Amino acid sequence: MLNFVYVFLGGGLGSLCRYSIARWMVNHRLDFPLATFIANVLACLILGYLVSLKVNNNVAAHWQLVFMTGFCGGFSTFSTFTAETFLLFEEGMNFMGLLYIATSLLVCLGSLYLGLRLGSSSF
């Protein structure tokens, strides 16, 4: 039962951080969905770092639940990414939609890799 509490706390914190980025970006009207992009890239960086620490047995199980499952799960958002991509195509912004898909995938993969490298160099 305590594991659910750990995930709940981390997920709530991650969601609040994502909401804060979205609120901060509200005055920056862009065609590119930057708030979701930033949240997903940062979540991948953090997750990569934590996975690297986990591999080296330096993260206790309850902290894995708080930060990896909870925080990163609440902070990143595939459903919003998908909805924003759909809306870009729906509004006839096909190039921007394709750009969003490509940059999200490539930058998130790069961010995860960077997190893995940063975590493994911590030892």
Domain ranges of the chain: 2-120
Higher pLDDT, 88 or 27: 88
The residue count of the chain comes to: 123
- Global pTM value: 0.89
- At 56, the pLDDT band (50, 70, 90 cuts) reads confident
- The region that residue 59 occupies, defined by phi over 0 for left and psi between -120 and 50 for alpha, beta otherwise, is beta
Does residue 116 register a pLDDT over 60?
yes
Least confident of 4-8, 55-59, 73-77, 112-116: 55-59
Q: What is the largest CA-CA distance in the chain?
A: 49
Is residue 42 a contact partner of residue 106, using CB atoms and an 8 Å limit?
Answer: no
Q: What's the pLDDT at 54?
A: 84
Least confident of 20-29, 67-76, 79-88, 105-114: 20-29
Distance in Å from the first CA to the final CA of the chain: 33
Rounded Cα distance between 88 and 9, Å, is 33
Is residue 72 a contact partner of residue 14, using CB atoms and an 8 Å limit?
Answer: yes
